[in-house]
Structure 1
Amino acid sequence: MDIKLEMPLFYRCPFGLRLEIGPATLGVWKDRDNFIYNEDYFDIARQRAVAIFESAFVPTDRISMVLQIYAYGRQKIHRSNYLFRQIKAVDAKVIKYSTRGDLYVEDRTNNRERWRRVTISQLQTRDIAYENLLHAMVNQDFSNRTPSLSGQLFFLNHDKQIVLNLYDDRGMDVVSLTRQPLEPLYQRHNTWILDRNREQIENRFNE
């Protein structure tokens, strides 16, 4: 699939949806002074993330997952990572590690700064506990919430030619090189399109 896995995906692909996950009308905090979270916010964020995912992926779709982390020095993605524990029969899957030094930066002279990437392929959607993974990504910016998964996680649907990235608790990008795979999601989840991107998205889907 010829989609470059760099955030923000929405601005790097010809067709995409940018959808609101955590509702801005609620907000993260119930009592910020006492560090009490608004659990309704997180419940809705998880529910929306799962609903969109299940609109884009069915159990038998052939998929891959890519996790990349910003690393300095020898930091790596280890097999103890939460990601691996959410995959059935993970040892039977194809797991490939790679290192990239050219993501998001113009100065590529510092050889100690790298993006570590693991790509897990030969999966079907039913092989992964995607609800747990989406929950972990919703929590990633809140160090005292569990489960949590650090880094950038991309779900690649090879059958539908779609890439999905829950970039944080606020939003999710779903992209493709063509409009057709995204049409059902555009219709079904139209009310969740982020307001600041709505005009751009509607122009693209209605042109």
Structure 2
Amino acid sequence: MTSALTRFLQQHYPSLTTAKPLFDCWLISLRFNLQKDTLSTSDEAYFQEVVHRASLLFRAVFAPDEPALLVYEQWRSKRHRIRSSNYLLRQLPVSQTAIHFQRITNPYSDTLKWMRMHFPTISQIPYTEILAAISNQDFGRRPALHGRLFFLNQRTGLAFHMYDDRGLDIIGPDVASLRYLYEEFNELILDYDRPHIDALFAT
């Protein structure tokens, strides 16, 4: 039986591979800056601003109770596996039978194996808590969510990936699907990638 993830990719992103940062994997993409230059990572206000910006963008991609598919990838070894105690699974009331597990190629090296799981959401996503956990991953803060998490909008085809406290990527199946995000959140676009992004929406 074809999985929900396979069907999503076949419909919207038939040539997509996530071996690189999502922004670099797909031509039609946006990259947003979550950091405020005047704040230091030693300040709690820094993390509050990161989650605030990420939450604004999440709400722009997902309406309340929007059908979503969550894809989570993590390294695995004898000590590191995706367990039911994983922070993500503790935030979402999903049954084990609804989770599809898959071994995948390690996108970074040959020494560690990776595991992917994906499942549809069955209730409203506690996105603020999850995004905060992603922002904490490199700072010894708790809770923390390591690995890579993708939120897929099954209605619009948009894919949302916050890679850490620095920023997040959103890709779409066509330019029109991302134009409203480009216009509404233009001031948050990462300056380093702005020339590429502005050229994409110039036509």
The answer to whether TM tops 0.5 is yes
Distance 2:62 2:18 in 1: 18
Equivalent residue, structure 2, for 1:187: 183
2:104 counterpart of 1:100: yes
The CA RMSD over aligned residues, in Å, is 1.8
Kept in 2, the 8 Å contact 1:22–1:45? The answer is: yes
Distance 2:80 2:96 in 1: 25
Alpha-carbon distance, 1:73 to partner: 4.7
Cα offsets for 1:89-132 (capped at 9, x unmatched): x1287201111125244xx5x6xx311111112x25x4321111
Distance 2:20 2:137 in 1: 16
Kept in 2, the 8 Å contact 1:83–1:133? The answer is: yes
Alpha-carbon distance, 1:74 to partner: 6.0
Equivalent residue, structure 2, for 1:154: 150
Distance 2:105 2:43 in 1: 38
Structure 2: which 5+ runs fail to align?
1-8
Kept in 1, the 8 Å contact 2:76–2:82? The answer is: no
Distance 2:50 2:20 in 1: 20
Cα offsets for 1:116-165 (capped at 9, x unmatched): 111112x25x432111100100111111x122111111111111111111
Equivalent residue, structure 2, for 1:56: 61
Distance 1:26 1:204 in 2: 31
Distance 2:176 2:134 in 1: 27
Alpha-carbon distance, 1:206 to partner: 1.1
Structure 1: which 5+ runs fail to align?
29-36
For residue 22 of structure 1, what is the amino acid of its counterpart? Answer: Q
- 1:35-74 matches, within 5 Å, as 37-73=42-78
Cα offsets for 1:55-105 (capped at 9, x unmatched): 0111232211111112245631001101011113x1287201111125244
Larger displacement relative to structure 2 (3-12 or 147-156): 3-12
For residue 128 of structure 1, what is the amino acid of its counterpart? Answer: I
2:171 counterpart of 1:175: yes
- 1:188-203 matches, within 5 Å, as 188-203=184-199
Kept in 2, the 8 Å contact 1:23–1:170? The answer is: no
Alpha-carbon distance, 1:25 to partner: 3.3
Kept in 2, the 8 Å contact 1:19–1:193? The answer is: yes
Secondary structure of the residue aligned to 1:23 is coil
For residue 133 of structure 1, what is the amino acid of its counterpart? Answer: I
Equivalent residue, structure 1, for 2:4: none
Q: 1 or 2, which has the higher strand percentage?
A: 1
Secondary structure of the residue aligned to 1:206 is coil
Normalised to the residue count of structure 1, the TM-score between the two structures is 0.85
Q: 2:160 aligns with which of 151, 160, 164?
A: 164
Secondary structure of the residue aligned to 1:185 is helix
Percent sequence identity over matched residues?
33
Equivalent residue, structure 2, for 1:119: 118
